[in-house]
Amino acid sequence: TQLLEQSPQFLSIQEGENLTVYCNSSSVFSSLQWYRQEPGEGPVLLVTVVTGGEVKKLKRLTFQFGDARKDSSLHITAAQPGDTGLYLCAGSSGAGSYQLTFGKGTKLSVIP
């Protein structure tokens, strides 16, 4: 069974601070996705990373896929209250796989 460990589990920061969320595994994934979930809603895709070492930027969010495709990180620069939510990473074991393995999530609160 593939596992994804996310850290930290909870994060409370002031507006304007930077933060990094980690997603680690001992298994290799063919791709990794990051989702954000707001209260009362389903998760929504932020990004998919596919290539080892890949870096993708989405405004103030920077996503990195580890060289060995076993880990990923999400860095937020100058966090804003609108970034508040649950961040989930999810890994796919292959193009033919129908299942995604989810981490348990990082709950982020950005205080104005």
Partner 1 sequence: NAGVTQTPKFQVLKTGQSMTLQCAQDMNHNSMYWYRQDPGMGLRLIYYSASEGTTDKGEVPNGYNVSRLNKREFSLRLESAAPSQTSVYFCASRGAWGNSPLHFGNGTRLTVT
Euclidean distance between CA atoms 18 and 22, whole angstroms: 14
Residue 104 binding partner 1, by CB under 8 A: yes
Number of H helices, E strands in the chain: 0, 11
In the complex, the smallest distance separating the C-beta of residue 95 from partner 1, rounded to whole angstroms, is 3
The DSSP result for 47-88, as a single string, is: EEE-STT-EEEETTEEEEE-TTSSEEEEEESS--GGG-EEEE
Q: Which of residues 46-85 bind partner 1 (CB under 8 A)?
A: 48, 50
Strands 10-14 and 106-111: parallel
In the complex, the smallest distance separating the C-beta of residue 96 from partner 1, rounded to whole angstroms, is 7
Among 61, 92, 108, 110, binds partner 1 (CB under 8 A): 92
Stretch that binds partner 1, among 11-19, 36-44, 56-64, 75-83 (CB under 8 A): 36-44
Which residues bind to partner 1, rule: CB under 8 A?
A: 9, 30-31, 33, 35, 40-45, 48, 50, 88, 90, 92, 94-100, 102-105
